[in-house]
Amino acid sequence: MRIYTRKGDKGTTSLIYGQRVPKDDLRVEAYGTCDEANSMIGLALSFLDKEDWSEKDAFMEKMHRIQTILFHVGAELATPKDKEVTWKLKKEHIQELEDQIDEWDKTLEPLRNFILPSGHSASSALHTARTVARRAERTAVGMGDEAVNPLVVSYLNRLSDFLFVAARYVNQSLNGNEIPLKADI
């Protein structure tokens, strides 16, 4: 299989089932932004490869599962509204994020003010992934309820919360410096 097809050279791309749309279509923007968030999660994980951390394997496994689900969320967004997807997001996927957020949050120092994205490189990359997930959520919202499974918007919303807590968890686990926002500038 060749990587390039030349079919997109005139500014269109194919959705799942082959429907061609402009590359600046909100649906393309939404699933492309999910792909971008997924890539940022991958970048974050690459910074953990060299770390000697007792919880690294369990953390990586959780994050790889999130990447897989996010890939499927992108596929759901890439499916035209009048077509059926083979894999559909479920409430259990959102609950899984919430359960992990709660578990990690119990181990973290309570937040007393905003923090600056900083610390360990993996943490900073997870903060970036969080902001990209928020953009994917905003784009999905812009598509309207009839065009998107409402669970997709909920998942992306919760995913950004998950990534925020994951960034804090990595910083704490690897002694990254969490910098509080200062009110006076």
Tell me: pLDDT of 185 over 80. no
Distance in angstroms (rounded) separating the CA atoms of residues 130 and 132:
5
Of 5, 12, 66, 59, the residue nearest 34 (C-alpha): 66
pLDDT in tens, 107-116: 999 998 899 9
The reported pLDDT for the residue numbered 17 is: 87
Distance in angstroms (rounded) separating the CA atoms of residues 162 and 133:
10
Helix, strand, coil fractions of the chain, as percent rounded to 5: 60, 5, 35
Cβ-proximal residues to 46 (8 Å cutoff; 6+ apart), any chain = none
Q: How far is CA 103 from CA 4, 19, 63, 66, in A?
A: 44, 42, 15, 16
Distance in angstroms (rounded) separating the CA atoms of residues 181 and 165:
17
pLDDT in tens, 33-90: 999 999 999 999 999 998 999 999 999 999 999 999 999 999 999 999 888 888 889 9
State the pTM of this model.
0.93
